[in-house]
Amino acid sequence: MVEKQLLNIKDMCLYLGIGQTKARELVRGQNGFAIRIGNRWYADKRKLDEWLNRNAR
């Protein structure tokens, strides 16, 4: 099975265990892991993991 590189909002919620409102706030912020394609927002999983490691302290 291929692991996704980009997580949509629903996948991001499942991955992080957060609600959709908070996930949308995170991807629309200037965190460095969000990608917008058309009207849809995605999180680059690798960059999201790096961001989590930096901010988990």
Look at the chain and report how many structural domains it folds into.
1
Predicted TM-score (pTM) of this structure:
0.84
Q: What does the pLDDT average to over 1-18? A: 91
**Neighbouring C-beta atoms of residue 53, cutoff 10 Å:** 9
Domain assignment present for 38: yes
Domain assignment present for 37: yes
Q: List % helix, strand, coil for the chain (3-state, nearest 5).
A: 50, 20, 30
CA torsion 26-23-11-40 (nearest 10°) is: -70
**Residue 18 in 3-state DSSP?**
coil
Domain assignment present for 46: yes
Domain assignment present for 1: no
34: containing domain: 6-55
CATH number for 18: 3.90.105
Q: Is the pLDDT of residue 6 over 90?
A: yes
Domain assignment present for 16: yes
Q: Is the pLDDT of residue 57 over 80?
A: no
Question: What would the pLDDT profile of 12-42 be if each residue is shown by its tens digit?
Answer: 999 999 999 999 999 998 899 999 999 999 9
